[in-house]
Structure 1
Amino acid sequence: MRKAVSPTFTAIVAIVVAIVIVGAAVYTYQQFLMYSSKTSAAITTTSTTPKHTLPYNPSNKTVFITLVTLSSGPTFNFNGTDFGAMVIYVPAGWNLYITFINQQSLPHNLNLVANDTSTPNSANIADDGKILLTIGASSSDYQTSGIMSGQSASGLYTDIPAGIYWLCCGIAGHAESGMWVVLVASPNVTTPYVVIS
């Protein structure tokens, strides 16, 4: 006869899993802050653009991405970068666990967009591609709603097809004003990483 698993044991396992996920998100956030604090002069003195490996779990093919709207730097930024200066490379077919943190007094949200144009050139990001995931707002109010300073939100997108995408703010005009990064899903990428130019 098989013994039933106690509810206490199940709760403990759930708490441990949550701690691991939060720890990975915090680690990514700290690493992005450290990496994005380097000056552009230091980056341009190297012969190749530096890569920074992202946290990931190869057993369930999940990449952990943390984007932060910093209170310092450009008004419309992710991790201190704007206008696609950050490029995130992930293996095609993997899952994206994305955490978005807002440190600004302005509301912001985060959207994964299968883009039709090379840069956001419309106040409405849906005019430039298909929105696949919205974090920090709903699919009906992404142009006007977002999370406020000190808040965070997370979302999961599974099995991302090969292609080039944006991670951008959906509030009207924010992406068009520079609040976007590029995400490349490729079968040639085996370890997820980020490059900042």
Structure 2
Amino acid sequence: MTFHMLWVIALGLSMDAFAVSISKGLVMCAFRWKQALAIACCFELFQGIMPVISYVIGLQFSQMIQNWDHWIAFVLFALIGVNMIRERLSSDDELAPSLISLKHLLTLDVATSIDALAISVSFAFLSVDILLAVFIISLTTFVIAFIGVKSGHFLGKKFKSKAEIFGGLVLLVMAEKILHEHGVF
């Protein structure tokens, strides 16, 4: 696998993290560098860990991963998306300062990194330098996720209280897209 192909794969893998980061930025009342960096670092960490796990496991569990990865990601995205919308609709208050819980962020990290787990099985068979692949995937994801949080915050300031509903809808669309890509409907 060429160096160029690794960058293309990294960019593709980071797109889910980008979309979710936008949804997280949308609900930030005030942009917090620390929180934006934490979100980007968490996505980077999971996108980097999953290829290593996949590389080590190799083919042993690849069929199981491919059979269930889309369902796991669908459920996680759908639950979080519905919860974001429900919380916004049930609250009469203006948006409170939005701190993202670690549990919530870890759930999103797992959901967005399942593709990295599945695609990286091939790295073991293609003699890919796993350290280089992890570096490229992690770096790309960090930059893309940070840009997503910053962009989402910019849009969130313009849309105010509708931003959390929009963020939830983004996650629901991603959940639907996952099932559509896997031929469920």
Normalised by the size of structure 1, how large is the TM-score?
0.24
Higher relative contact order (CA 8 A, sep 6+): 2
Q: Per residue, is there more helix in 1 or in 2?
A: 2
- Structure 1 or 2: more strand by fraction: 1
TM-score, scaled to structure 2:
0.26
- Structure of larger gyration radius: 1
